[in-house]
Chains A and B, each alone.
Chain A
Amino acid sequence: QVQLVQSGAEVKKPGSSVKVSCKSSGGTFSYFGFSWVRQAPGQGLEWMGGLLPVFGIPNYAQKFLGRVTITADASTSTVYMELISLTSEDTAVYYCARDQTDTYDYDSSGHPITTVPFDVWGQGTVVTVS
């Protein structure tokens, strides 16, 4: 049974950065895509970006370009999300999520992408910017 365990809650000052980890256990790592999804208080789900560890090339939502970095460490089966230049609007629960299958494709730029939904989610990490 695959499990994703995320790092603990964070309280950050505006202008600072946060790095959240997500450790995968119970399954293969490198060939499954991982994404980060956030949820502001009382709001919906927002996809931030993701990557396929075997290639290490991330895709980011336009909104977060320049502020988010997603990386993976295959030696520890851990995915990371770093967000810089934090504001109060970044206060949210941050989830990591794993793709349902180890299926990938290539986009028009030749970058590897995954085109499957998420079937495993981490428990969420509360990030408060205040």
Chain B
Amino acid sequence: DVQVTQSPSSLSAFVGDRVTITCRASQGITNRLAWYQQKPGKIPKLLIYAASSLQSGVPSRFGGSGSGTDFTLTISSLQPEDVATYYCQKYDSAPRTFGQGTKVEIK
């Protein structure tokens, strides 16, 4: 199975900072990668699909890039409401594996 490795596992940044989270697949998955946000005690929410397409209703400060094996989620200006754990997920084939998650906090 293709492994999905996400980093870092956690980060702390100031409001207004640019934040970057990476996801690496052990084999190429074209652009079939999604990013989800899960706030504490809440269900996951789709942010980005097809590596770089913004899901409807998601603020434009969220952006995704990458193709093949290396992908990035960027928050251009971190806001207090962005405190959450972020997961990448490959969906090119089964199993539709998630990354380990990145917990984002405010300094």
Contact = CB atoms under 8 A, between A and B. Distances in A.
Interface of A: 35, 37, 44-47, 49-50, 59-62, 95, 97, 100, 107, 113-119, 121-124
Contact of B96 (A47, A100, A107, A122): A47
Contacts of A113: 93-94
Given A113-B93, A118-B46, A119-B55, A62 B98 contact: no
Given A59-B94, A107-B94, A117 B43 contact: no
B97 interface: yes
A95 B55 contact: no
A6 to B, nearest CB: 10
A113 B97 CA distance: 14
A124 B41 CA distance: 10
Interface of B: 1, 32, 34, 36, 38, 43-46, 49, 55, 85, 87, 89, 91-101
Give the dominant DSSP class at B's interface: loop
A117 B34 contact: yes
A48 to B, nearest CB: 9
Given A100-B49, A107-B94, A115-B32, A44 B43 contact: no
B43 A119 contact: no
A47 B97 contact: yes
A20 B52 CA distance: 34
A98 B6 CA distance: 23
A115 to B, nearest CB: 6
Contacts of A122: 43
Contacts of B100: 44
Nearest to B50: A117
Nearest to B89: A117
A118 B89 CA distance: 10
A45 B89 CA distance: 9
